[in-house]
Amino acid sequence: MERAEDPIPRRLQGLPSRLINQVAMSANRLVDQAFAGPGLRRYHFSLLAALEEFGPASQAALGRRTGIDRSDIVATVNELAERGLVERSPDPDDRRRNVITVTPAGVRQLEVLDRLLAGAQEELLAALTGAEREQLMGLLTRVAGRHTAAQ
């Protein structure tokens, strides 16, 4: 029977992929907990952030910009529209698709989510100094950039 205090095999202890995965799981848990208060999820934040920063977009463009699958985009847009955080309207150039726009209520909600997300990030990186956080961000950005470019 395994216990939390059981030692981790040495082969696993130094694997960057394992450590990154462990930190990612903790990060996801912290963000999910932070967003649970207003009843939203990371997908909601991603769509609101993209719309606020880049302006109205089709569902397909939002999916490409945020990395959210097409089927999940539809459900997420529906959820945000039901809450009045986004509006869906026909694309004047192509009536077969919709253009999604963030509403003023959506911008206000995004500001709340920004504060909650900052708190989750603070909790995640609490063991690091400011300089160490900057160094970690630089290293992760480099690693992610190399693998994003290779895809």
Residues 106-115: tens digit of each pLDDT: 999 999 999 9
Any domain includes 125: no
- The whole-number pLDDT of residue 10 equals 87
The amino acid present at 10, given as its one-letter code, is R
- Tell me the residue range of the domain where 101 lies: 22-120
Residues 46-61: tens digit of each pLDDT: 999 999 999 999 999 9
Count of alpha carbons within 13 Å of 16, Cβ hemisphere only? 3
Any domain includes 2: no
Give the global pTM. 0.86
Residue with token string 């690091």? 128
- The whole-number pLDDT of residue 15 equals 92
Any domain includes 79: yes
Any domain includes 146: no
CATH number for the domain that contains residue 58: 1.10.10.10
Any domain includes 39: yes
Taking the CA atoms of 69, 74, 79 and 84 in sequence, report the sign of the dihedral they define.
positive
Any domain includes 148: no
Any domain includes 127: no
Give the span between the Cα atoms of 36 and 104, in whole angstroms: 21
- The whole-number pLDDT of residue 151 equals 63
Average of per-residue pLDDT values in the chain: 92
99, pLDDT greater than 70: yes
Summarize the confidence of residues 107-124 as an average pLDDT: 97
Give me the number of domains the chain comprises. 1
Any domain includes 144: no
